Structure 1
């Protein structure tokens, strides 16, 4: 098995194909973290050092031994109240008002297969590809039992983490903080990668040196957010794309989160990740259980690109589910930027007629088809078709589009309500509003209380009524504001648990829809990429990457997103120019090449483009199908860093067997009398020759990787090129 336990040294060793993770039960029952890195056979407890350190106290059982201090030792799951003054994973408020939790080892279990987390999305795996370690801990004083779960998916170099907390006492305990994962490094000079942003400019890569003190990212917005993604990379200071040690932690959760890094007084580095503890206070009643969302960890000793490939593999194969897990998604056209709210059924039909002639496979009807919805101030929550606006029933409209040979999709925003809606007039108590306070409005909408079962059941019924009324094969699931004014009348005594239960309600609703409509494609959206996270990918194999469709900005957004999330999950469209978000004008070909980093589609009125551009659309669709398998199943390489000042951006897809590659490049800057620019390929087989399918020129794989190719000289701004290589059989 991938998990070993030495009952003499009390060391657990978790092995993947290329990594080892080690934990030791210390002499007083604390779990100590020994090692995470390249695969080894040794037991790494020899790395531990013990000495008397001033102002670092000792467990009572240590007696006269002042060399054993939890303030200095690397721990597996540190808690508050044990003399460890660094960042911790758990804070418990006891019945007497004190804050203390001292967890000691009580036992363990090793089994085949991967554990499951009730009500929460997580990695799934068969028994022949995974193993589970459960470590049982207990705080004897307050009768709290904690189980640490470890899932080992060895072939993909993945280790997952989750925590279960059970109150075995006769009194209610309060969980004030419950993170999922902690990693302690005894020494090392590290940087960390965070992925910050804002609406229409998400997941911008930032590499920072880890310095003394506490650094980190998180969200208090009720979603994983545009501002900070729930994903971190810790890398040795000299790590590059293809060299050096690096570690990833990705949170499988779509709500508030917290990820922190501390370089302590002894130059040890601690990383924690889990639920945001601000506005969190969970009353755990007698015999009740609480589960933390999952953290997915990976390690690479050959740089960032291997870490990326590990995440792409595990998310494609062991997180995403359903019909569209591994087949092409329909090339779609969305009417939003073509019409906004100003449309009727005939205008939609005209867009569809032109689109199907050019090869587009699905039409998606965006916001405005329901209730009294001709703007963003009314109608949300009233999920009944506005037949007066459409001029027909939804069934009739969908049938007309199906008869053209196109699929049909529909936009929803099921978690929101306008005050000007029938739902709000009937059930104002279903929205988050704090008593005796005016709510914070955002886009003139409020958030429904999904911590309440009756609210989730109502929305489920309304969505099903619409989906059952016509042949709807896709829904875009939007979420266009951050959550505020958190108050639930059903949780009067436990308001600190509302946001956690909100997410459970959302996941429950999504799971019910996925199970009832197994062929339905759900594309998640939150004002673009405000909820682009591993939690949503469990239900939605495609996420709208950003509301920003500008090709040049999208290069940077998609590059940052690519560090953890597979290309196949990116929602990407060709849109109109000047771009509606930036005003920038880019060539039609460039917009298509950038949009092929993902699902591919169009967001413009195809009736208004030129004849030449219509021919380009036809060719772009042919090329996307031609390259689909290579793009979506191959390995993705970042050849440049678009977040540095670069003349051009380049990325590449390579088949796993090295037999085919596609390089894409876009000029970012153009100047007079420019020097030549070169790009080196990756992932090819050095001993084989390759032919450029466009020029028929022949190169060795080694030459292309060691010396590269000169890029064509740009004559216009933002030009794009592709180089398609195929290996020549010997």
Structure 2
């Protein structure tokens, strides 16, 4: 290791140090180093234990089995059975203001490796990508191409995410001392089960304490994430897109790139890590259209009418929605030809003239006349066998032709690798957006992918890439149209799809209690303004649970808010509740969609979920306290709020709560509940407020404002 072989990258709070002598080894990734590390880096030279190889073998950004690394390599492949153990040597390095680009080659295998490592100096988020090029005459088959980041030996716990339909973004923890942890997704989209992100950290890390290293693979298809502990104690995180056999073959001059891996380090727990990711997403991922920087409040018709489309009735719904303050009205599934249930018509993207005998224009004109914009649901990647499109083009399915593929949601997937399929879909979507005044598409993808074959070969990776291209082409033609990524709820949510969409739907579950957990898991990597959060009906359609309007309203407040129901059928009392929370969301929308999110630890974490959003200038905050179960004890301790200015005095007041909050199961609530309180930021963070007693499945919303 020499000073010439060292590369240092520094952000606001983070430093990275790489040794590029043999591959690119990440020597240090942690808290910002104030002094130049170059002259001191030799202190990190490792011992070489007896009974092993006679020289030190680094774990690089591209681990190589050919160097004697007996753990998961970064590349597995071959050229007709040869060149299966490549070793790359440095060719050139390009220094950029935000990072480095390293070019390495294996002159025997005729492979060129380009490694891009960037550190955003404002958010402290790093991103990493490999591109492999075959310069040999023989075709090179790539079985795996993975991204690797090393973390220190003190990283001893892993936080990962699991779930299923209507139960996404759940959290679990594992101790990582030997072996490791691995998750795989083979469902053809990001998946409900294994969102492609995880966090490792020091023992018992939490929202406010401990060192954490978080990673997210920006890929909307099959993936693998793993955390490995080597026999010598070194640890690394590895992430990759999963390839089917024979899927990636490179002819001479052809290349394949990994998805981007995004990562961030925090010395002060998960909240800081999340805020760094949120800042990066806001500044570098999101691409809102100029007309829609303020996130308009939605009504989606799905749980209101399902497939029962009557234009006059839908216009009544729009009128009622506008009265409550809705700003965007979206017609969901059921509008197109022959679509009366979920068993037919996908692919026939033409208006059902039996349901809409006068066309869709009168409905849209009515929506626009109410001061709202109009949106429409589509599921372009799918096809039903009971459809005109399938009867005309049965060969357009993504399939292996000699097998009987199982259905999912009574539907199949179109083969986007076929240019004629791609161009047909683009033309249909372009026609819809050109014919009608549509400013928003809810883009759904409701099934998992089985046997993704194109002309007999695996084409899952190509399918995902073509979805990206389809959205890119459509948005180039209609830049003012915004798109929501929905996949039976939270089945396709990642930074790469988010570069092309402006909203995601975390779950088909609008149950406020379940949403507390779903939205909390979601918040680790995504900011509130892109999270669809709807007030559903009093009786949840997904769980049959009953919740009052206040619990539903407060739960939906900390996102991109909407409602999902039939407002015509709702009682005046319920509609008054919707109107109240719609107005409340609009009042604080700019704070919610720009502030720093804190997941606050409480004294009764088994029974409460507490969150705060603090303005950038730290002069205002909203705090949500959700009572998810019976209190563990008769009293619930203190509420402490972080992120405020220590010496600033604040006024604390209750601005939303259940109707019976101040009476019922308590003799009296704490005095501040009735009178408000004036407290310093230091007091709120260290001493806090006596927690009130709350009913199970209820919530409280507090406003904290600076006094002066």
Give TM-score scaled by structure 2 length.
Answer: 0.93
User: Per-residue CA shift, 1:572-612, capped at 9, x if unaligned?
Assistant: 10111221111111110110111112111111111222222
Could you tell me which residue of structure 2 aligns to residue 46 of structure 1?
43
2:27 aligns with: 34
CA-CA distance at 1:250 after TM superposition: 1.0
638, 644, 648: which one aligns with 1:688: 648
Which residue in the other structure is 1:167 paired with? 134
Tell me which of 376, 391, 400 is aligned to 2:357: 391
For 1:608, what is the secondary structure of its paired residue? coil
Any idea what SS the aligned residue of 1:356 has? helix
Partner of 2:178: 212
Structure 2 residue 12 is matched with structure 1 residue 17: yes
1:669 aligns with 2:629: yes
| 1:328 aligned onto 2:290 | no
The residue number in structure 1 matching 2:453 is: 487
Partner secondary structure for residue 516 of structure 2: helix
Distance 1:548 1:325 in 2: 29
Structure 2 counterpart of 1:156? 123
SS of 1:702's equivalent in the other structure is helix
Find the residue that maps to 1:384 and give its secondary structure: coil
Q: Which runs of 5+ in 2 are unaligned?
A: 655-674
For residue 317 of structure 1, report the CA deviation from its aligned partner.
1.2
The one-character-per-residue Cα deviations of 1:475-494 (angstroms, maximum 9, x if unpaired) are 100000111121102xx4xx
- SS of alignment partner, residue 712 of structure 1: coil
Judging changes above 3 Å, is the alpha-carbon distance between structure 1 residues 728 and 521 closer, same or farther for their aligned structure 2 residues?
Answer: same
Answering whether residue 74 of structure 2 is matched by residue 94 of structure 1, we say: no
Quote the offset at 1:419 in angstroms: 0.5
What residue is the counterpart of 1:457 in the other structure? 423
What's the secondary structure of 2:312's corresponding residue?
Answer: helix
Q: C-alpha deviations, 1:26-62, integer Å up to 9, x for none?
A: 3xx33333111112221334212132542x44xxxxx
Which residue is equivalent to 1:705? 685
Match 2:617 to one of 657, 660, 667: 657
State the shift of 1:424 in Å: 1.0
User: Who is 2:698 aligned against?
Assistant: 719
Work out the CA distance in 2 between the residues paired with 1:462 and 1:7.
Answer: 59
Alignment of 1:133-282 (within 5 A): 133-179=100-146, 181-185=147-151, 187-279=153-245, 281-282=247-248
Distance 1:186 1:706, change over 3 A: closer
Q: What do residues 379-424 of structure 1 show as CA deviations (whole Å, max 9, x unaligned)?
A: 0011111121123211222112212222111000000000111111
Moved more, 396-405 or 629-638: 396-405
User: 1:500 corresponds to which residue?
Assistant: 461
Q: Secondary structure at 2:145's aligned position in 1?
A: strand
Hey, what does 2:55 align to over in structure 1? 67
Q: What is the CA-CA distance between 1:97 and the residue it aligns to?
A: 4.1
The 1-side partners of 2:378 and 2:292 are apart by 25
2:539 alignment partner, one of 578, 582, 585: 578
**Structure 1 residue matching 2:593: 3-state secondary structure:** helix
Query: What displacement does 1:360 show?
Result: 1.3
5+ residue gaps, structure 1: 1-5, 58-65, 113-130
- Change in CA separation of 1:280 and 1:236 when aligned onto 2, cut-off 3 Å: farther
CA change 1:661–1:645 in 2 (3 A) is: closer
Q: In 1, Cα distance between the equivalents of 2:120 and 2:357? A: 53
Q: Secondary structure at the match of 1:420?
A: coil
Please name the residue that 1:608 is paired with.
569
CA distance in 2, matches of 1:657, 1:33: 35
2-structure distance, mates of 1:553, 1:634: 24
Report SS of the residue matched to 1:342. coil
Alpha-carbon distance in structure 2 between the residues aligned to 1:423 and 1:567:
39
What CA distance in whole angstroms lies between the structure 1 residues aligned with 2:72 and 2:631?
Answer: 49
Give the whole-Å Cα distance in 1 for the aligned partners of 2:110 and 2:504.
Answer: 43
- State the match for 1:469 in structure 2: 435
CA shift at 1:133, angstroms? Answer: 0.9
Q: Check whether the contact 1:137–1:147 (CA below 8 A) recurs between aligned residues.
A: yes
- What is the Cα deviation at residue 701 of structure 1? 1.2
- Secondary structure of the residue aligned to 2:128 is strand
**Is the alpha carbon distance of 1:53 and 1:103 closer, same or farther for their aligned partners in structure 2, counting shifts above 3 Å?**
farther
CA contact (8 A) 1:451 1:499 kept: no
Q: Matched residues in 2 for 1:702 and 1:252: separation?
A: 38
Distance 1:410 1:386, change over 3 A: same
> What is the distance in 2 between the residues matched to 1:533 and 1:306?
20
Rate the CA distance shift 1:45–1:246 in 2: closer, same or farther, 3 A.
farther
| 1:82, distance to aligned residue in structure 2 (A) | 3.4
Post-superposition CA distance 1:482-508 (Å, at most 9, x none): 11121102xx4xx24x11111111001
Kept in 2, the 8 Å contact 1:334–1:603? The answer is: yes
| Cα RMSD for the two superposed structures | 1.9
Q: Which residue of 1 aligns with 2:276?
A: 310
Distance of 1:673 and 1:21 partners within structure 2: 46
TM-score of the aligned structures, taking structure 1 as reference length: 0.91
**Whole-angstrom CA distance in 1 between matches of 2:335 and 2:177:** 52
The answer to whether the 8 Å contact 1:20/1:39 transfers is: yes
Structure 1 residue 189, shift from structure 2 partner: 4.3
